[in-house]
Every structure is written in C-alpha cells, then in structure tokens.
C-alpha cells in the first residue's frame, strides 16, 4: 500500500526516466497516469532520495535537449519548397520556427544548468595600456589620544 501522499519509488523512477529523456515535467504531469505537478513538488521537498534522483534526471534532460538542438539544426527537410511553376523557394517560416526551437532550448539550458550551458563571462582588470595593475598600500601610524 503506497504512503498517504501517493509517493512510490516506482512512480518516482518513471517521472525521472521521462525527464531524463527530454520530456518536460509539465508534459509528464498531463498524463492521467501521473501525479499533478504540485504533488511532484511536494515529494521533492519530502523525499530526499527522490530529490537526488530528480536532480540527476534534470542533468540528463539538459544533455537530451543538447541532442535535440543538433537534430533541429541539422534537419533541413522543409527549409525549401517547390512552387507551382517548379521554382524552389526558401521557407522562412520553417527556418524561423526552427531557430526559435533552438534558441528556446539554449535559453532553458543556460538557466537550468548555468555552469555547463550558461554564457561564460570573464572580466579582467589591467593597468594603463593593458599592463599589470599597480597597487600600493599606505600605512599611517597614529598616536593614541591621551584622553582615551
């Protein structure tokens, strides 16, 4: 008999497996066989083992999204079409939709896994003409006030 909150390791494994294959939690929870999102979030706060399993699944999900990006970018099947007079035309709607799909996945990956997929920003501080930064420390000795 499952616990009162409905949590089972089997259900957790199914959710994590589907996440790892690239499916969104929202899509998983739309499945009538699955719990609603709020239940999954409750389990995450209550079940430490599930929380760890879920974190690993999210990492795998980012890899699945990276592979999807490659598939979308490499798929040029509908990038052109033939008009009635036989001329080949570029299908800008399909190309723009593919660009949106790639950009959305890249954005999501950069937010959910910023260390691996986020933009790398480095700042360098240099002195005049790009030379080394010069620093100086001044120490001033002060006699204590006799009234203190």
State residue 134's pLDDT score. Answer: 84
**Tens-digit pLDDT profile for the chain (148 aa)?**
333 458 999 999 999 999 999 999 999 999 999 999 999 999 999 999 999 999 999 999 999 999 999 999 999 999 999 999 999 999 999 999 999 999 999 999 999 888 888 888 777 788 888 888 888 899 998 888 887 5
Cα–Cα distance for residue pair 105/91, rounded to 1 Å: 22
Are 22 and 29 contacting, i.e. CB atoms less than 8 angstroms apart? no
13-38 per-residue burial string, b: 16 or more CB within 10 A, e: under 16: eebbebbbebeebeebbeeeebbeee
pLDDT of residue 5: 55
Encoded tokens for 55: 């974190």
pTM for this model (two decimals)? 0.68
Could you write out the three-class secondary structure of the chain? CCCCCCCCHHHHHHHHHHHHCCCCHHHHHHCCCCCCHHHHHHHHHHCHHHHHHHHHHHHHHHHHHHHHHHHHHHCCCCCEEECCCCCEEECHHHHHHHHHHHHHHHHHHHHHCHHHHCCCCCCCCCCHHHCCCCCCCCCCCCCCCCCC
């Amino acid at each position: 008999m499952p616990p009162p909150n409905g949590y089972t390791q089997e259900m957790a494994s199914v959710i994590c497996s589907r996440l790892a294959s690239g499916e969104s939690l929202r899509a998983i929870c739309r499945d009538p066989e699955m719990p609603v999102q709020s239940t999954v979030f409750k389990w995450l706060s209550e079940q430490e083992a599930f929380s760890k399993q879920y974190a690993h699944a999210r990492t795998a999900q980012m890899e699945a999204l990276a592979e999807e990006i490659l598939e979308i970018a490499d798929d040029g099947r509908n990038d052109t079409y033939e008009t009635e007079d036989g001329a080949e035309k570029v299908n800008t709607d399909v190309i723009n939709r593919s660009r949106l799909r790639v950009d959305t996945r890249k954005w999501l990956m950069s937010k959910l896994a910023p260390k691996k997929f986020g933009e790398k920003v480095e700042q360098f501080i240099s002195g005049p003409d790009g030379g080394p930064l010069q620093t100086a420390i001044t120490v001033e000795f002060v006699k204590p006030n006799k009234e203190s």
